[in-house]
Chains A and B, each alone.
Chain A
Amino acid sequence: MIAAGNPAVATNVGRPLAGGRRFSLDWIGVVPFLAYAGLFLLLPSTIIALGAFVNADGAFTLENYQHLSRSYVVKSTVDTTVISAVTAVAGAILGALLSYAIVMGSPNGVLRRLVVSASGVLAQFGGVTLAFAFIASIGPAGFVYLFAQAHGFDYYTHGIWLFERTGLGLVYLYFQIPLMVLVFLPALDGIKPQWREATESLGGNTWHYWRHVAGPLLFPAFLGATLLLFANAFSAYATANALINQGQPMLSQQIGGALSSEVGAFEPGFAKAIAVEMIVIVTLVTVLYSLLQRRTSRWL
């Protein structure tokens, strides 16, 4: 998950930078960050991107990138995109509703503190632990299923969907919704009650308020958060791998497949090419996201 470093989305106070023209040493402050990003982000990405141009004999090749058009890679790309998009949109909507319920309550209330701290933990919840939690509860041998079955409600009559894409989507929601809460709550907090009262005293009703004031103010943050959730799901690996070990629908799993010799060919260069594909997609989404952020930060 890429969520960890991104807890506060709509809070950035993006005032126009003033007086940045003269010579200044302000940039020294970002040196550690640039060094970090270079070392752990740019460098590995470059190594991977270049490595994908090398074949098994160490010679230059375009083959690895060409292999991306293999039908199972294309299908995997589509599947991953769909699952990511669906869980992002569903997670964003449910998370936004939950956030709204929280801000309606008292600012220091129990509900708020509870949900926020739970979200902080759950947004990072993933991998084998999360998959196991689902398998042990609603899985075909899980206590919830056994209980439901014993009471005449067998939700696996049409197959064990938990181990398919439906199940994966459900499990993903488990960290998507909390992530949405973390990311969207600051944007909701930025909405001042006076805006609603001003709307009313100017003759507007609730619909006008959402249509002309709160909606336009929140939409970029909502969209931005959705993109973040998309990237979050798109790059998840451990959860999918723990839950689904047949078919490997997710792109991240294909990398694993290309690296393990037991499935067939051991193709490290090809694995790198898939990684590059993922990096490109996530980068695109992130760029879109930051463009949206820039827009909201001008207002709030």
Chain B
Amino acid sequence: MTDRSGVEVRLENLVRRYGTVTALDGLSLTLAPGELVALLGPSGCGKTTALRLLAGLEEADGGRIVIAGNDVTGLPANRRNIGMVFQAYSLFPHMVAWENVAFGLQMRHVSAVERKKRALDMLDLVGLARFANRYASQMSGGQQQRVALARALAIQPQVLLLDEPLSALDAKVRSRLRDEIRRVQLEVGITTLFVTHDQEEALAIADRVGVMQSGKLEQLGPPTLVYSRPATPFVADFVGLTNRMQGTVRGGSVEVRGTSIPLVQPDVSDGPAIALIRPEAVSIDGNGGTDEGPLVGTVIAVAFLGAVSRVTVDLGDTTVLAQLPTSSASQHPAGTRVRLALRTDPVLIQREEPAPTAS
């Protein structure tokens, strides 16, 4: 396909207000050339707003947008050269697939012959050459979104924006199309911002994941880092499942139910805190039998997720999620007593109130 090295995209301190609602509250984010960044965050945190500002569909109340070194903050959408794939199906219903893909080229006065040829090439890229003459109403949701991707890329944009392009699809089509989008993006080498509220999707597709909350970026980093080293309790909570367990900080580590776990940020004062522990850091150490102890409890539910299973254990005063290989989880059906073990990977803590003994 057209070989083009991506450009750098910089969002600087973007602010956007709707009446009293501040949708973006000083968002800063830089995308490296050719990089795919996934913006992840709960509903209403401002993901779509960020995307629409970048696309020029919405005006910023403050801040700058710089694409390839050019300030485009005041430029209207139709002069930004940005490809966009919308959440809901946005194909023009009165045009067949190739006409949709060719539309942007028509706007750029490409000759009729040339634009049909290039539209068919693009459809080929997304694996839909056979569907060139179908109307949107004659295609599945996944096919429509692939045509939308081809349409967005046909104009050879500098930046590609996708706003939850997969959210209307069922799980299987979803993960297939997700990989497809990534393949195409890598092939074209275009700088891409991908908005989603599905963390699995974000972690699977992105070079870097940006986690947003209340119009701000909480953390930006590679998926593995965002998952294993969440920068804030919010990120830990939002990305992946987290056990919140009562503990006591003492000398740079936190003691949770008899196990001492190092802290990610050790320089905090001693005192009670809540440790955020991933289910995969909790394992089943063996049958609990008639033992007593802080980590002995009863299995109350087992959820099979394929290769792994998630086991809910009642420890009396709290319940804990443990994620294990299905083979070992199946030895502990609901009702059995088990002894848990906590892995001693560094964890984040959260404090509900300031530590009583500030030293």
Please report A residues at the B interface, Cβ cutoff 8 Å: 15, 192, 194-195, 197-205, 208, 212-213, 216-217, 298-300
Contact = CB atoms under 8 A, between A and B. Distances in A.
30 contacts: A192-B90, A194-B86, A194-B88, A195-B92, A197-B55, A197-B77, A197-B84, A200-B56, A200-B76, A200-B77, A201-B56, A201-B57, A201-B80, A201-B83, A201-B84, A201-B152, A202-B78, A202-B103, A202-B107, A202-B151, A203-B81, A203-B104, A203-B107, A203-B108, A203-B155, A213-B92, A217-B92, A217-B94, A298-B135, A299-B94
B330 to A, nearest CB: 43
B82 interface: yes
A207 to B, nearest CB: 11
A217 B93 contact: yes
Nearest to A296: B94
B154 to A, nearest CB: 8
Given A200-B77, A217-B94, 6 more contacts: A198-B84, A200-B76, A203-B79, A212-B106, A217-B93, A299-B93
A202 B94 contact: no
Contacts of B79: 203
A106 to B, nearest CB: 14
B91 to A, nearest CB: 8
Contacts of B336: none
A200 B58 CA distance: 12
A198 B77 contact: no
Given A200-B77, A201-B78, A204-B78, A192 B88 contact: yes
Interface string B336-357: 0000000000000000000000
A217 to B, nearest CB: 5
B104 A300 contact: no
A208 B77 CA distance: 14
A197 B57 contact: yes
A201 B55 contact: yes
Contacts of B82: 201
A172 B78 CA distance: 44
Contacts of B90: 192, 194-195, 197-198
B265 interface: no
Given A15-B137, A197-B84, A198-B84, A204 B92 contact: no
Nearest to B136: A299
B94 A216 contact: yes
Nearest to B79: A203
A216 B84 CA distance: 23
A202 B293 CA distance: 64
Contacts of B135: 298-299
B298 to A, nearest CB: 51
A197 B86 contact: yes
Nearest to B161: A201
A198 B77 CA distance: 10
A217 B104 CA distance: 18
B150 to A, nearest CB: 12
Q: Ordered nearest first, which 8 A-B pairs have the shortest CB separation?
A: A202-B104, A194-B90, A203-B107, A299-B93, A200-B77, A201-B84, A204-B107, A299-B94
Contacts of A216: 94
Contacts of B93: 217, 299-300
A203 B56 CA distance: 11
A295 B79 CA distance: 34
B358 to A, nearest CB: 53
Contacts of A197: 55, 57, 77, 84, 86, 90
Interface in B210-266: none
B134 to A, nearest CB: 12
Contacts of A203: 78-79, 81, 104, 107-108, 155
Contacts of A194: 86, 88, 90
Nearest to B84: A201
Contact of B78 (A195, A205, A213, A299): A205
A264 B84 CA distance: 73
A192 B93 CA distance: 10
Contacts of A208: 107
B308 to A, nearest CB: 38
Contacts of B80: 201
B46 to A, nearest CB: 18
A200 B84 CA distance: 10
A200 B57 contact: yes
Contacts of A199: 78, 103
A220 to B, nearest CB: 9
Contacts of B55: 197, 201
Nearest to B107: A203
B106 to A, nearest CB: 8
Contact of B86 (A198, A205, A299): A198
Contacts of B151: 198, 202
Contacts of A204: 78, 103, 107
A204 to B, nearest CB: 5
B193 to A, nearest CB: 13
A173 B183 CA distance: 59
A212 B78 CA distance: 15
Interface in B68-104: 76-84, 86, 88, 90, 92-94, 103-104
B287 to A, nearest CB: 56
Given A195-B92, A216-B94, A299-B135, A202 B155 contact: yes
Interface in B131-153: 135, 137, 151-152
Contacts of B81: 203
Interface string B94-137: 10000000011011100000000000000000000000000101
Contacts of A300: 93
Contacts of A202: 78, 103-104, 107, 151, 155
B206 to A, nearest CB: 22
A216 B137 CA distance: 17
